[in-house]
Every structure is written in C-alpha cells, then in structure tokens.
Amino acid sequence: MRSWVTLCSLSALLLGAAGSARAGFTTVKTTPYPGVTHVVYTDASVPLVVHVVTVDVSSQEIFLSSTLTGDRGQTLSDWADCKRGTQGCTPVDVAINGDLFAPSGYVPAGLAIGGAKAWPDAAADNATEGWFAYGRPSDVNHMQLSVPSTVEMPPSTLAVEGAVGGRALLVQAGMAMSSYDATDPTEPFRSAPRSAVGVDAADATGNRHTMYLVTVDGDQAASAGMTAEELAHFLTGIGVADALELDGGGSSTLYVRKEGGVVNSPSDGVQRPVANHLGARYGAQVHFSVVGEIYNMVFGDQSKLINNATVTVDGQVATWPAANNHTLYNVNNIVPHYVCAHASAPGFMSATQCREITVQDVQSQGNTQYLSLVLYPGVDPPPDMAKPLDMAMTRADMSGDLAVPAGAGDMGTGGGTHSGCDSSAGSGASASGFIVALVLFLGAASIFRRRHE
C-alpha cells in the first residue's frame, strides 16, 4: 500500500508538471486608482472567475479602513458609500466583506476593530480565528496578519486603527496550506464562493507593502468556485506570502467604486448584509522628483560615475538632462511611498535600491528626493538561473500573468486535491504521463532494492 501511495504522489507530480489539457486563465487588468490594480482571472473550461485587487499600501495616498461597531450589518456597497455611516465613517474606493458572524446582532466570530476602537461584543482573538490588522504610525501604512493558532492582540507598535478576523489560514510564509478542518463552517473541501485577504512578504524592516483582496465566484453556472486548498495554491501563484480566508458563500463580495461598485457576482444574486468590512480609499498627496547618481563600485566617488545607465523608478524610465552633464538621472511625478529604482548599464550587473519616502521627507527636504545606486562589473545571470528552481513544479497559464502550483490540480473540478489517486481528478493529462511515472517509480524501486540487498 505504501508503494502505491508513493506511485500516486509521483504520478501526480509529473502529470502536474506536464501541464493540464485546458489553456488556463485569461486575464483582464485595470488600474482604477494609482497604486490599486484589479485583475479578473477567467477559465471558461471549469468554469471559474476570480477577482484580485492589489493595493500598494506603501503609498501615502492609500488609507485603509474597517467597519465601526455602529456600522455593522450593512451590504458592502452601503458601507463603502457610508449610506448608514456613523460619525467618523469615510467612504472607501475598494472594499471586501469581513469575518464570519452570528446573524443575530451581526457579531463577528473573531477580532473586530474600527476607528481604533475594538467592538465591545465581538470575540477576542482565539485559536480558531486569525486576524488582519493595520495602522499608520508616522503616517506610513503598516499591516500585520496573525495566524489562527496564535492567540494575540495587535502590537502597540502597529498603532492599530482597524482589524478584521478570518479563518482558515490559507497561506503562510509563501506556502499553501494543505490541511483543513472538515467541520469548519467555511466548508473547506467544497467548491464554493470564497473571499480572502493576503499580504506580500515582509521587507528587511519587517514591513509589508501589498494588500490582496480576493473573491472567487461560485455556486453559479458561470463559476464553480474553489476549495480552500485550491484558493491557497492560487494565492501563492500570484505572489501572496500570507493569507486568511474571510467569510464566504453568499457573503463573498468585492467593491471597486470607479468600476461601478460590486465587481464580482455574489452567489445570492444580491448583496448580503454582513457584520464587518475591510476597505481602502485613495487620497491625492504631494508629488516630487526622484534623482540620483549611478556609481561604479564606489558610492560617492565622483570620478566613478556611470552616465550611460538605464534607470527606471516604479516603471518610469528616467531622463538624463544635459544640464547636469548626464550624470544625474531624473524621474518626475512620484508620490510618497516605498520607492524603488532599478539601474543597468553595459558591462555591469543590474541593481535595485529602495527607500521609503514620506510626506514628511518631502516637507522637510524638498520636492527633490535622492536615490543613488552602485553597480558592479559583470553580467546578469540568465533568467532561468536568477533564482532557485521551484521544486513544487509550476505550470504557467497561457496569459503569462499567473503561475499555478501543480498541487492545485484543475481548480474547481471537484476534489482533485482531496481524493488521493482518483483517476478523474487533477490536471486531465493523458495516460502516457502515468506510464512515465510508473516507469520512473519502478526504476527507482529497483535501484533501492539493489542498494539494500
């Protein structure tokens, strides 16, 4: 029996690496606000529709928000529009539904904080629920995600302004979770509508810069939904480092004001009132220029300036004005956030340098901010050698925007990741892939016997 399990695992891995019969996701991407993107992933063969909103919280033009205790029990769009807003409610531009809740009184199952005040009747953090919390110390957004197994409150250093609870844990440290509680009311093993909040990996200072708001349409002809594990694999494929599931089913709703309001398709056919919500708004800030010098090995040595480099700052290509003898690059119209400059030059390895530039920096230092780099002689490694091979074996979708880990199977096809070696599950690859797996397995088994006889 143990050999058969090993054979099944090896076969599944190889069949996943070979790719599935379906073409995969097609994507449509919009940028409704600076620092906010909305991508719709569609696979008509399942069928499946997933909405992903990414928010660059390092931008000081982004302000996060969560429901005040007096604003509970509203539909997502009503909350986003402050239609029943108590004092302190501010309309938001993007939003998602929050935690699971008790219908009587709309009491969340986990931690709930809005306007820097905890809900008096909501549960404290517990071993079943995790939380996503945010604050804005020194006028810079900070986020933290706590896993369900850790019972804790957000730290005082976060200067917490809001929090929503959630379960189950979907992604931790870039790894998709594969173990779920069958008794969980989120029905983890059923293809269903789902919502999730995620964050990117922390930088050297421990801060996160991207928030992910994700909904999966389900329980309808146009989209079958996902299991919890399938959603977890999807999230790791788009770069999420840590993620919690939020309330799902008919509660799963995603709102983008500039795109007409609710952008997904709630399974009830209408929006459902929910306990709490999570959102973000865009507010224009000051703009400034980023300038810098590119040095050959020695920072600050004016005799080692490189004046033929190509520099980009947040995707904008820098100019090299003749007025400064082409020694100082320049990029205009940058807003306060975690700014990254990338430089390359013939005969040198490329490099990236980042710096958090705040409104206070601009106010105290002026509208010109410096970000210089040092390059070293050499050449960049080939693209396939730039990072270690992903041992999970990914299969990129045809759009090139998403790599879905092989373990995810065909998302929404009916339990491929939970039925072991069921011939109907997984990627739908041909029997020849299985034969290859069998040959490899038998060969490995033969070698093992010879070494141990």
pLDDT in tens, 300-356: 999 999 989 999 998 899 999 988 778 899 999 999 999 999 999 999 999 999 999
Whether 196 and 116 map to the same domain: the answer is yes
Q: What is the mean pLDDT of residues 11-35?
A: 62
Whether 156 and 185 map to the same domain: the answer is yes
pLDDT exceeds 60 at position 53: yes
- Cα 61 to its chain centre, rounded Å, is 19
Round the CA-based radius of gyration of the chain to a whole number and report it: 25
pLDDT exceeds 60 at position 367: yes
pLDDT in tens, 92-140: 999 999 999 999 999 999 999 999 999 999 878 889 999 999 999 988 9
Whether 185 and 112 map to the same domain: the answer is yes
Whether 96 and 43 map to the same domain: the answer is yes
pLDDT in tens, 75-84: 999 999 999 8
Whether 235 and 292 map to the same domain: the answer is no
CATH label of the domain that carries residue 359: 2.60.40.1120
Judged by average pLDDT, the poorest of 81-85, 133-137, 184-188, 370-374 is: 81-85
Whether 210 and 100 map to the same domain: the answer is yes
- Among 282, 314, 331, the domain-final residue is 282
- Among 264, 282, 300, the domain-final residue is 282
Is the residue at 358 inside a domain? yes
Is the residue at 431 inside a domain? no
pTM beyond 0.85: the answer is: no
Residues of the domain holding 231:
23-282
Selected residue with higher pLDDT from 15 and 61: 61
pLDDT exceeds 90 at position 432: no
pLDDT, residue 247, reads 98
**Number of domains the chain is built from:** 2
Question: How many CB atoms are located within 10 Å of the residue 126 CB?
Answer: 14
Q: What is the mean pLDDT of residues 158-171?
A: 97
Is the residue at 403 inside a domain? no
